[in-house]
Amino acid sequence: MIAAPSPEGPRRRWIPGIGVLCASGALAAALGVCVLHGRRAPAARVQAESTDDGVVRSTEGVDGPCPAGMLLVEGGTFPMGSPEGEGEADEHPLRRVTVSSFCIDRHEVTVGDYGVYWERTGRRADAEPDHAPLCNWGHGDRAAHPINCVDWNLARRYCEWSGHPGGARRLPTEAQWEFAARGREGRIYPWGNLLPGARACWSGLLPRTTTCAVGTHAAGATPTGIHDLAGNVWEWTADRWSPSYDPAALRDPEGSTVDSGQRVFRGGAAVVSVASALRTASRGRNAEAMRSRAVGFRCVQGPR
């Protein structure tokens, strides 16, 4: 059972035959395939954000503690979740969580990034994203768009690949993702507390059926320069979903130890038309095997 949503959030319902939790109204219509439900890093010498092949080649962090293309999130304590009476039922209880320092991808993993991995690991059929008109894989004009139509295990295996600059990475925990998006001050959205407007790649202003090239909505970045944590694609996290947070897990939590059969994704997507889905506390969930045009990912390394 899904608890009744609060007045602050979108209503969600089960769609028979798809097994995906959706927002009703404009969000459900836009999705087509519905979907459930510190300080700045070392000196920015950022060059080409992405190239024609979609591979992000920013030099951010080359001389710092993080590999190229990643930014340092310095550890700290922040409010994770939503206060009573706000948000969805699974965003509670609100708790103060401490997260160790880690590195995070400045951008969502692009089609070009994933293509390099796919080529270098032997073009395996079981590592290939879906081909479809609204999937970005196989479309030459979307190399700089986020990879989508990948299930949780494809995302996990990409991050854990040892061929990345600086070595293997992994999917972020929910706490890491929310801390990167929210900051110590508990921002409602990655950029602050103002409504999204034109800051994100979403359908609140103009209905969208496809994603945007990563980093093209600079006003929606966090104060430390992490792009597209709201909009473009939801992002898989490492954690299993549970209907509430463990109030005792207050330092580097790693999600539920009970296998719910579902993994959490965060951040909203281009097809979303309701601002509440782009909040830093908002959670989505689905089975590990689910592939959707609205879901992609980014990686982390650490804690450090």
For residue 146, the domain's CATH number is 3.90.1580.10
pLDDT average, residue stretch 284-294: 98
Name the region of 168 (left: φ>0; alpha: ψ -120 to 50; beta: rest): beta
Q: Count of domains in the chain?
A: 1
Q: For residue 280, what are the CA distances in angstroms to 102, 197, 300?
A: 18, 16, 17
pLDDT tens-digit map of 155-208: 999 999 999 999 999 999 999 999 999 999 999 999 999 999 999 999 999 999
Type and span of the H or E element at 15: strand 12-15
The answer to whether residue 42 scores a pLDDT higher than 50 is no
pLDDT tens-digit map of 102-112: 999 999 999 99
Give domain status of residue 30, yes or no: no
Determine contact, residues 207/273, Cβ cutoff 8 Å: yes
Type and span of the H or E element at 23: strand 20-23
Position 64 confidence tier, pLDDT thresholds 50, 70, 90: confident
Give domain status of residue 254, yes or no: yes
Determine contact, residues 293/91, Cβ cutoff 8 Å: no
Give domain status of residue 84, yes or no: yes
Position 59 confidence tier, pLDDT thresholds 50, 70, 90: very low
Quote the CA–CA distance of 262 and 270 in Å, as a whole number. 22
CB-count burial class (<10 Å; 0-12, 13-18, 19+) for 288? middle
The answer to whether residue 12 scores a pLDDT higher than 90 is no
Q: What is the pTM of this model?
A: 0.82
Domain span at residue 272 reads 39-304
pLDDT average, residue stretch 224-252: 97
Give domain status of residue 88, yes or no: yes
Give domain status of residue 34, yes or no: no
Among 216, 236, 237, 238, which residue's Cα sits nearest to residue 227? 216
pLDDT average, residue stretch 211-218: 98
Quote the CA–CA distance of 100 and 185 in Å, as a whole number. 16
Quick one: pLDDT at residue 72? 97
Q: Higher pLDDT residue, 7 or 127? A: 127
Quote the CA–CA distance of 106 and 251 in Å, as a whole number. 24
Q: For residue 197, what are the CA distances in angstroms to 79, 184, 208?
A: 25, 23, 14
Average pLDDT, the chain: 84
Quick one: pLDDT at residue 304? 66
Determine contact, residues 205/197, Cβ cutoff 8 Å: yes
pLDDT tens-digit map of 67-94: 999 999 999 999 999 999 999 999 999 9
Give domain status of residue 16, yes or no: no
Give domain status of residue 287, yes or no: yes
Give domain status of residue 9, yes or no: no
Quote the CA–CA distance of 94 and 97 in Å, as a whole number. 9
Quote the CA–CA distance of 304 and 302 in Å, as a whole number. 5
